[in-house]
Structure 1
Amino acid sequence: MAQRILITGSNGLLGQKLVALLHQHPDVELIATSRGGNKLAALYPQVRFVPLDVTSRAQVEQVLQVEQPTHLIHTAAMTNVDECELNQAACWEQNVTAVENLVAGCAALKIHLIHVSTDFIFSGEEGPLSEEATPAPVNYYGQSKLAAEQVVQRSAGKWAIVRTILVYGTAHDYGRTNIVLWVRDSLRAGKEIKVVDDQFRTPTLAEDLAQGCWLVARHEAIGIYHISSSELLTPYQMALQVAEYFALDSALIIRADAGTFTQPARRPARTGFLIGKAQRELGYAPHTFTEGIALLARQTEDSQEGRTN
């Protein structure tokens, strides 16, 4: 049976990876939506695009009524942690009110809602964490994402929550950088960079996260799934791997602790996910961090074989 999948936030990193993945599936009818214009029009002219501001209950109801998707993958969110701390009203509207709108619309039309969440709902006192771990966010972004999860879990309809961590990847017309490209480009420019070595994460390749969301939809899975890599690393350890892959000077990478940086929002010290449930139930199989670096290198036309030092 064909699945009709609507994606929110199709201009974002995960949204773009989902469009790239799902438009190839003959048994998937895809509807891309975003608040802004369609950044992917030239790349995927065959993919249906509908403007949608998820903070508008009326727009959500209208689009869902017209499009009648079987599944909705909700990737749109305000994810800049410090911005969320400083602009809490905007954060709540985009991360919680939007989810209330989608939950109501999906429940009414019997649409399977797949909601993307974060490791920042946890305190950072222990990790790696299973799906059953008790949330205790230490910043407003985490509070908003936990509130959104609770809205989803109260839904009378079918739902799944996909939690992820430190997503990295490259996308079309996408302004934000990520740890791999930031380290590579800084070292190439001969810049010293300070990188924290007292925070632990299981970094997630954007393609792996898209695959995880698709597996949840394909299996009609219900409940919470942790989708990340299985390698628990500090950003400093990640930076060293990037330097090694591109044969750059790792002496420019200065080990730092979180106290070195002044940021409006606290970060959890140690998260990371146990991904056994997704591996067993969905057949999820993520890349290693080194494989992820290699994929980004190819995507930015900068493979190891072709580089010049």
Structure 2
Amino acid sequence: MRILVTGTNGLLGQKLVALLRNQPEIELVATSRGPNKLAALYPEVQFLSLDVTSKSEVSRLIAQVQPTHLIHTAAMTNVDECELNREACWLHNVTAVEHLVAACEAHHVHLTFLSTDFVFSGEQGPLAEGALPAPVNFYGESKVAAEEIVQASRIPWAIVRTVLVYGTAHNYGRTNIVLWVRDSLRAGRHIQVVNDQFRTPTLAEDLAQGCWLVARQHATGIYHISSDELLTPYQMALRVAAYFQLDTSLISEVNASTFSQPAQRPLRTGFVISKAQQELGYQPHSFDEGIALLAKQVK
């Protein structure tokens, strides 16, 4: 079993490398654009540079590696950036998927594609896999378009949708809700956190485990991978403050209309994960367990 992972410089990609490098039954090939951020941590892992927006690069690399499975994590995921730079968003989130699907079809590769709760309108949740997509921003539109390309392909495919992923990564510029709340409160800063958006937050390690379960079992279809706790960001912030014994009076409860952002966010998503639990054996951490794990990792 030879697994090729795209986007291994990103949060999920790094967690997949950490997980899959220890699986004796597989050969792992890591790919990302730019230098390998994990070279010093995992020098034994084969790394190849890949720009997924280049059709020729994708075609050549898949032909060279001949993977049995491909887990595609590379994407443009900054929701506001996608709204403001739609051409770049489409190139990275849709055109790149066209290239990968074509290469996978040519070499009979099982494809796992990462998608998002932002394919939904946010009118109701938690949502099961059969819910109809109706995105409210361009990032969601790009992911729906990519999902449709994958579903129309002639290869065994799986779509893994996830929600509000948090975790730590090596040499990674972006923060997450746990560390943002902890660091802000430790610095004595007042923060405003929304109370009218609902999500099932996903520990990055859990998402990596879900992707591995899909690949290992050659699963096909759509799977919702997240936690099973429906929380608002405000509730999450209170949990973080409680764990680190920080001052909750610094946290102000506001609604989403307080913030002016280029991209609209769906108000209520979150996932029903019973399909992944029953078919894949997926078992996520609780949010409190996720906080504890992050605290240990960044200590």
Deviation at 1:17, TM superposition (A): 0.1
Looking at structure 1, the residues matched to 26 and 188 of structure 2 have their Cα atoms a distance apart, in angstroms, of 46
Aligned residue number for residue 99 of structure 2: 101
Looking at structure 2, the residues matched to 37 and 158 of structure 1 have their Cα atoms a distance apart, in angstroms, of 31
Looking at structure 1, the residues matched to 79 and 155 of structure 2 have their Cα atoms a distance apart, in angstroms, of 30
Q: Does 1:59 align with 2:57?
A: yes
Q: How does 1:73-92 map to 2 (within 5 A)?
A: 73-92=71-90
Runs of 4+ in 1 over 3 A off after TM superposition: none
Name the Cα RMSD after superposition: 0.3
Aligned residue number for residue 69 of structure 1: 67
Aligned residue number for residue 307 of structure 1: none
Give the TM-score, by structure 2 length: 1.00
Q: Which residue of the other structure, out of 183, 186, 207, is the alignment partner of 1:185?
A: 183
Paired residues in the alignment total 299
| Identical-residue share of aligned pairs (%) | 72
Structure 1 unpaired stretches of 5+: 302-309
1:56-108 CA-to-partner distances (Å, cap 9, x unmatched) read 11000000000000000000000000000000000000000000000111011
Give the TM-score, by structure 1 length: 0.97
Aligned residue number for residue 36 of structure 2: 38
Looking at structure 1, the residues matched to 4 and 94 of structure 2 have their Cα atoms a distance apart, in angstroms, of 19
Q: Which residue of the other structure, out of 149, 152, 159, is the alignment partner of 2:150?
A: 152
Looking at structure 2, the residues matched to 111 and 10 of structure 1 have their Cα atoms a distance apart, in angstroms, of 19
Looking at structure 1, the residues matched to 204 and 261 of structure 2 have their Cα atoms a distance apart, in angstroms, of 25
Deviation at 1:174, TM superposition (A): 0.2
Assess if the C-alpha contact under 8 Å between 1:107 and 1:158 holds in 2: no
Looking at structure 2, the residues matched to 58 and 294 of structure 1 have their Cα atoms a distance apart, in angstroms, of 44
Looking at structure 1, the residues matched to 276 and 34 of structure 2 have their Cα atoms a distance apart, in angstroms, of 32
1:6 match: secondary structure = strand
Aligned residue number for residue 239 of structure 1: 237
2:113 match: secondary structure = strand
Deviation at 1:28, TM superposition (A): 1.0
Give, as a single letter, the amino acid of the residue that structure 1 aligns with 2:108.
Answer: K
Looking at structure 1, the residues matched to 249 and 154 of structure 2 have their Cα atoms a distance apart, in angstroms, of 55
Q: How does 1:263-302 map to 2 (within 5 A)?
A: 263-301=261-299
Aligned residue number for residue 46 of structure 2: 48
Aligned residue number for residue 194 of structure 2: 196
Q: Which residue of the other structure, out of 246, 267, 274, is the alignment partner of 1:248?
A: 246
Assess if the C-alpha contact under 8 Å between 1:11 and 1:40 holds in 2: yes
Looking at structure 1, the residues matched to 169 and 26 of structure 2 have their Cα atoms a distance apart, in angstroms, of 22
Assess if the C-alpha contact under 8 Å between 1:6 and 1:32 holds in 2: yes
Aligned residue number for residue 22 of structure 1: 20
